[in-house]
Amino acid sequence: MTLIEGKTVSQAVKERIKNEIARRGIEPCLAVILVGDDPASRIYVANKQKACEACGIRSLKYQLPKETTQKELLALVDRLNADKNVHGILCQLPLPKPLDKRPVLARIDPKKDVDCFHPNNVGKLWSSGAAFLPCTPAGVIELLNYYKIDCTGKRCVILGRSNIVGKPMAALMLKKDATVTICHSRTADLKAVCKEADILISAIGKPKFVTADMVKDGAVLIDVGINRMENGKLCGDVDFDAVKEKASFITPVPGGCGPMTIAMLMQNTLTAYDLQQK
């Protein structure tokens, strides 16, 4: 069993970005919008700002009160769209009620959409010519590439059909020439489907859901889930201790896919800068 070290790979990605920015003498800029005072969102935003600093990316944070109206939020997006010194725009989710994320994500300039949530970018992901890749799925692909895991012709099973991870993950794995199955809460005989997977990617947010009897011997296990147990410790969707001896490769939680999401956000910000120079 080989442990897939997300911290190591993410550091390599950020170092590559830092060197590229320094070599070219440029200053990409990422603007992050945070509405309300959700503790988890605050931590995520702080981590993104820290990564920006490490890579040489200028970071702007727009902290708005939870009482912010839809109109006010959209007006801020419009201002950032028009600012030529801002290259990437990210609206931290979830938004407090009653704000609707859909018009906000659709309002961000597709060339500044570093989360790849804009309908135009989602469409390009499934066709061709995508400038950005969604950060978490792109991070998984980076891990597979780093560890030289060949996906061609492999049976890939993805647990979860969310727009953020499951669906775009399927698109990227198809481009890697894997044969892809997406499973969800209505999937019949889920255990048998998972057991056929050469590569099993879980993103459902259920602690230790994937057990040893769901895993094929020698499978690659990618655990995107991050769950907090009653004792306060973090765990993934995969019961790590129960399945690690069956896996050929496995990601830990924490320290697996998590660090890759922010690393790929940095990559998308650099890509956005280049797009806007053309």
Contact 247, 214 (CB under 8 A): no
Which among 14, 92, 113, 154 is annotated as catalytic? 92
Active site residue 244: no
Rounded to an integer, what distance in angstroms lies between the CA atom of residue 235 and that of residue 201? 15
Give every strand in the sheet of 88-91, ordered side by side: 58-64, 29-35, 88-91
Nearest Cα to 154, choosing from 248, 241, 239, 236?
248
Active site residue 115: yes
Which among 48, 112, 167, 216 is annotated as catalytic? 48
Residue 82 CB burial class (10 angstroms; 0-12, 13-18, ≥19): exposed
Which among 109, 113, 115, 198 is annotated as catalytic? 115
Whether the bond into 65 is cis, omega within 30 of 0: no
Q: Which residue has the tokens 């992901």?
A: 125
Residues with a catalytic annotation lie at 48, 92, 115
